[in-house]
Structure 1
Amino acid sequence: MVLDRTCQGTVRSLIGHTICFTGRVLVDGEWTVRTRCEELAEGRGADTRTDFSRKITLVVYGDLASKVVSDSRRAYSGKLVGAGVSRDEGRHVCVVDADGFSKLLKRRPAPCLKLRRSGAGHVRPVAAASSESGVLGAPLRVRRPGRRPSVDLALDLNHLDKATAAHEATVGALLVHLSGQGIEVRTHAPGAPAFDAGWFRGADVFIAEVKSLTGAREDQQIRLGIGQVLDYAHQLRTSHPGRRIHPVLVLEKRPTAPRWFPLSRSAGIRLTWAPDFPGV
């Protein structure tokens, strides 16, 4: 792990930095091409370059978020590799993600990310510590339902196992869907309500409750999910009044009854479902 020893983990401003971008960046929830990102950065006092060189002091990565990249003759991957090499040589290059770049454009400080190497030439940007937001925690991982050692217990919990498997399959599909947009899905931060999944889009925070519909009454599951995600959102809005919190109810499949769509909209909930997750 390469730690930031010169900026003490925080990029305070874009002023004076020479920046390069890995590609398009999700700026406040909107995909923004590199040339426009350069214009925005220069408007905040930065200089920009297309390629990585010793002049670069800040790398902004966008569509590579949460992905392992290597020097595979792709210019954007070489920029992160170059940042890692520079850090090894004692010349610190700051790295921020899309959310960090959005903050810097608003003249707010952003976390400088660590870089982790997992092999020759492989570089992974490491998500900023969750203490800054107090809402999202570590990267979310899909769990695998455990095996039941007892035959009797397996019979009793057969439906539960099926529901758990459906829940985790839905979570896994959501991870794949959002990672395709360059978004890393997180768990809840310590002390935050125990929602199933959360992610950033710019400065907005989306928190999701995931409900399987296997082996259970659809209306009961949806009612439960609506109540839970509204409760979580209310708690977070109370404890973090400066945050824009968006509740999302994620279902295993499209609900049968059409009444859930207007009901969710009226409550301010985004209702979506696997495998395509419309609206997310």
Structure 2
Amino acid sequence: MDGKLCDGWVYSLSGQTLCFTGKVLIDDEWVIRKDCASIAQQRGADWKSDFSRKITVFVHGDLANQTVTDAHREYSKKLVRAAWERDRGYHVCVVDGDGFADLICGTPARCRELQRAQGAGDHVLVLPQAGDGILGGPLQRHAVGHHDSGALTLDLAHLDKGTEAHESTIAALIEYLSRQHIELRAHARNAPRFDAGWSRNGDVFVAEVKSLTGASEDQQIRLGIGQVLDYAHQLQLARTYGRIRPVLVLEKQPTDPRWTSLAEASGILLTWAPGFAGC
């Protein structure tokens, strides 16, 4: 990162210089600093035992899944140094144990926001964010491939149209939310595999995206409703930060208006391109 302000994400361990606390909580297992360093080096990173301006990523692993009011969120002296450097215009990315585990697995990690505790200049707090443990890195539209002609031309054409419509809907949702300065996100590594998610005003929106091209509209909507209800139920049982809002996003307005009232009665936001009402 060479001290420059990041975009809120650490995308890879490769080329980074890390500094660790004494041990790091990785997926509910404590891992000592030496082993963390070895794992990081295997993925192209360097590490230093002491904090300096060579450090690009500070890993404070005992912060995972704690609330901001927890006294254990007070950072070590190394993290106070990271905050001090930030105050002076040198940005050091800070990730927790979950973020380090994400980077080990090749997925982006959130760079944590820091705040000094009131009345305690030597104490720094991490700010929890809506979607912690639920939302992963920025969501990107995927390229859609096409199949050669042959005996299955008709079925594969329908499949491709459905996939194209699905990705086009996601692309339109990315653009729509970006105009509100909201980032569309993928699911977190250990979260249910929903299609897209975002946060706003403390709420976490968990969405399934359904195309209606070349498929039974009723079947697609029924499937989507079941999926988002399942995702929301799983997340409500887990320890997460932020109210869960299940969303079913459709390629276009459904033919039958009954789906809107059914979704509303089930606590689901039903919306569709291009207007994405309610999002």
Following TM superposition, by how much is the alpha carbon of 1:260 offset from its aligned partner in structure 2, in angstroms? 1.1
Q: 1:161-220 CA distances to partner (integer Å, 9 max, x unpaired)?
A: 111111111111000000111111111011211100011113221110001111112111
Q: In structure 2, what residue type is equivalent to 1:161?
A: D
Contact map agreement 2:196 2:207 (CA 8 A) in 1: yes
Paired residue type of 2:227: Q
Distance 1:6 1:152, change over 3 A: closer
- TM normalised by structure 2 equals 0.57
Give the 3-state SS of the residue equivalent to 1:261 in structure 2.
helix
- Cα distance change, pair 193–6 in 1 and its aligned pair in 2 (3 A): closer
Match of 1:110 in 2: 127
Note the 1:171-186 alignment, pairs <5 A: 171-186=170-185
Aligned residues: 184
Q: What does the per-residue CA deviation read over 1:93-121, in whole Å, with 9 as the maximum and x for residues that have no partner? A: 899x9x9599x99x96227xxxxxxxxxx
> Does residue 146 of structure 1 match 2:116?
no
Task: Please give the per-residue CA displacement for 1:29-59, whole angstroms capped at 9, x wherever unaligned.
Answer: xxxxxxxxxxxxxxxxxxxxxxxxxx9966x
Question: In the alignment, what sits opposite 1:217?
Answer: 216
Determine if the alignment matches structure 1 residue 278 to structure 2 residue 269.
no
Q: Is the Cα contact below 8 Å between 2:165 and 2:211 reproduced in 1?
A: yes
The aligned amino acid for 1:246 is R
Give me the whole-angstrom Cα distance separating, in 1, the residues matched to 2:222 and 2:248: 10
Instruction: Determine the C-alpha separation between the residues in 2 that align with 1:252 and 1:181.
Output: 20
Specify the SS of the correspondent of 1:277: coil
Q: Does 1:191 align with 2:208?
A: no
Letter in 2 for 1:264: A
Partner SS state of residue 157, structure 1? helix
SS at match of 2:247: strand
Q: Aligned partners of 1:100, 1:230: CA distance in 2, in Å? A: 31
Report if aligned partners of 2:114, 2:125 keep a CA contact under 8 Å in 1: no
Within a 5 Å distance, the mapping from 1:60-71 to structure 2 comes to none
CA displacement, residues 206-236 of structure 1 (integer Å, 9 cap, x when unaligned) = 1100011111121111111000000001011
Distance change (3 Å), C-alpha of 1:168 and 1:234? same
**2-structure distance, mates of 1:100, 1:260:** 40
Q: Distance in 2 between matches of 1:136 and 1:178?
A: 15
SS in 1 for 2:151: helix
Asked if the contact 1:57–1:94 (Cα under 8 Å) also holds between the matched residues in 2, the reply is no
Distance 1:94 1:2 in 2: 10
For 1:241 and 1:190, the matched residues in 2 are separated by 14
Moved more, 206-215 or 154-163: 154-163
Could you tell me which amino acid in structure 1 is paired with residue 274 of structure 2? P
**1:62-81 matched pairs, under 5 angstroms:** none
Percent same amino acid among aligned pairs?
A: 54
Q: Is the 8 A contact 1:264 1:270 kept in 2?
A: yes
Q: 1:165 to 1:236 in 2, by over 3 A?
A: same
Which residue in the other structure is 1:162 paired with?
A: 161
> Structure 1 residues 210 and 153 mapped into 2: Cα distance closer, same or farther (>3 Å)?
same
| Distance (Å, rounded) in 1 between the aligned partners of 2:113 and 2:268 | 26
- 2:225 is matched with 226
What CA distance in whole angstroms lies between the structure 2 residues aligned with 1:193 and 1:158?
Answer: 29
Moved more, 154-163 or 188-197: 154-163
Q: 1:241 to 1:141 in 2, by over 3 A?
A: closer
Work out the CA distance in 2 between the residues paired with 1:196 and 1:183. Answer: 16
Unaligned runs of 5+ in 2: 4-52, 61-83, 95-109, 119-123
- Structure 2 counterpart of 1:237: 236
Alpha-carbon distance change, 146 to 161 in structure 1, aligned in 2, over 3 angstroms: same
Asked whether the 8 Å contact 1:237–1:243 carries over to 2, the reply is: no
**Distance in 2 between residues matched to 1:237 and 1:259, nearest whole Å:** 27
Contact between 2:57 and 2:92, CA under 8 Å: does it hold in 1? no
